[in-house]
Structure 1
């Protein structure tokens, strides 16, 4: 990622993990951080938790911003995360923050890997929590510098500092998959958190290789025919082609998940047309000169208007 300009923003909830992030960052780069804390409007105690974070920031002369949001209907944890990142992205833009850091740690990584294994996730999902990514604006780096730390280490650091961290009761609510996974890990010592986190990092490395290969595929095998049409010469493993299909759909103004693109790939491989996010994909073949090799070629263009007569 490019060198950061502007302060490092920290998302701090008042729990031990994020308070540890605050203390470590302030020790490492004093005067170069800013903190935001989000009240999701889900619990009356949340306002006091935001106030705690503000008090810690005032004690250390760290710029602080309290944010509030509301969580939409649906999967509570997923919707809360979506709402949180939305207001944090707005804060980053408004305050000129150069990068945002969150307090995900090794225990989070292990839990995420097991949850996604249970859901049959593909390699991208199994790569777990990325050490570095981008916010939804596509520009601001999103950093997770604590992935090498265990949760117990972070709790001890905060306790030693004399700060009384808050405890979110949802972290004990077995209605959530993550909480059940966490309890399962605690009750089965043979499932080592460090080993699971290392496996997630190995999978992330494999995924980075796929992303690199997909970039080559795009550069060498995808040709724009005009403003609204692409030609794709298919000569790579399915997992690579799926990434390229998603990217072409995006270039044409659509949005496709990897599972949708994989289903389209399977149809196209059987020489059947596929329709995806308003894009019609037609399979064919071309003889490539001067080699004389015949290659699969898939053409992408907006679907023609439907005849409503």
Structure 2
């Protein structure tokens, strides 16, 4: 990784006016309002191609309303050097930058990549709140949509799982900071060209092409298979997102008409509903009573099949009783022998 000998201004001047206008429109479509000096956008920058492109575009579009941060996971020997590399670029273009230290306790157990992502978002949420930034922008782009679509399809995911990432959502539970993805319409090739035009050689994370990881293998498959164009797969994911939004709207309407909610119990009329709407309403009833996300997939399907058969069933600490209106209530505590 290196920066050319070009002047500081040239890093931004290398970005075409059309790209700045396109990014500004994409930001407005995703976030709904523009950053300002007193309410800047926080940009998450790893030093890779996509996040550097996001940094340069944001700086060009919102000159006085950008702050940046790099989370040093401490998972690779090069991570401290990469964070310092990003700090150098930010200093040259006049963007305040913070290096966020790792939280080792949050990386223990489970899938390491999932844990690292959760830790990164939590660190970014705390940093953005302290910096007065209502948004944290991340650099997910069109090729990421295509890769995720294939990964989820391979696992047999449903509509919600294969739908495109949301361009706007809460960053972390219990935090007011919003996650924004303004690059979902940009390809990896476009972003790479923008970074190289600025004379920057980005960080290359070797794990991105290591066959040990599912996403790396899917990325290789897409690169080697012209019959799977990322733009078309991303379009399919976007279409599924539209369908998911429509189903969520219908489910909300049916919940209002069919659910009776009282203190720690729910009565729910599921008559004559399609299977997917029944699943969604049952999941919401479980979540309402347990005040926690219910299990998905086969566990939920087994519960519905059991109650349909006239049996009392329990899932996620909630007991469900059959009848014209299913009743959901907290399961009684287990008695010690």
TM-score by length of 2: 0.83
Matched with 1:56 is 89
Decide whether aligned partners of structure 1 residues 4 and 248 sit closer, same or farther in structure 2, where only a CA change above 3 A counts. farther
The CA RMSD measured in Å over matched residues stands at 1.8
Matched with 1:135 is 171
Matched with 1:151 is 188
Q: Map 1:1-309 onto structure 2 (within 5 A).
A: 6-69=39-102, 70=104, 71-137=107-173, 139-224=176-261, 226-235=262-271, 236-252=273-289, 253-259=291-297, 260-285=299-324, 297-309=325-337
Structure-2 separation of matches of 1:135 and 1:261:
27
More strand by share: 1
Decide whether aligned partners of structure 1 residues 90 and 263 sit closer, same or farther in structure 2, where only a CA change above 3 A counts. farther
Question: What are the Cα deviations for residues 66-95 of structure 1, in whole angstroms up to 9, with x where unaligned?
Answer: 112233233222222122112112222222
Structure-2 separation of matches of 1:247 and 1:30:
44
Instruction: Identify unmatched segments of 5+ residues in structure 2.
Output: 1-30
How many residue pairs were aligned? Answer: 297
Q: What is the CA distance between 1:140 and its match in structure 2?
A: 2.7
Q: What is the CA distance between 1:265 and its match in structure 2?
A: 2.0
Instruction: Identify unmatched segments of 5+ residues in structure 1.
Output: 286-296
Structure-2 separation of matches of 1:306 and 1:165:
56
Matched with 2:8 is none
Instruction: Choose between structure 1 and 2 for higher RCO, CA contacts under 8 A separated by at least 6 residues.
Output: 2
Structure-2 separation of matches of 1:74 and 1:229:
33
Q: What is the CA distance between 1:4 and its match in structure 2?
A: 7.2
Deviates more, 1:113-122 or 1:79-88: 79-88
For the residue of structure 1 that corresponds to 2:257, the secondary structure is helix
Aligned 8 A contact 1:254 1:278 in 2 = no
Structure-2 separation of matches of 1:150 and 1:270:
50
Aligned 8 A contact 2:295 2:316 in 1 = no
Structure-1 separation of matches of 2:68 and 2:247:
35
Structure-2 separation of matches of 1:99 and 1:168:
26
For the residue of structure 2 that corresponds to 1:242, the secondary structure is helix
TM-score by length of 1: 0.90
Structure-2 separation of matches of 1:2 and 1:166:
31
For the residue of structure 2 that corresponds to 1:34, the secondary structure is strand
Aligned 8 A contact 1:8 1:32 in 2 = yes
Structure-1 separation of matches of 2:33 and 2:256:
26
Matched with 2:15 is none
Question: What are the Cα deviations for residues 224-254 of structure 1, in whole angstroms up to 9, with x where unaligned?
Answer: 1x31111111142222222222222222223
For the residue of structure 2 that corresponds to 1:223, the secondary structure is strand
Structure-2 separation of matches of 1:24 and 1:229:
50
Deviates more, 1:91-100 or 1:34-43: 91-100
Matched with 1:291 is none
For the residue of structure 2 that corresponds to 1:66, the secondary structure is strand
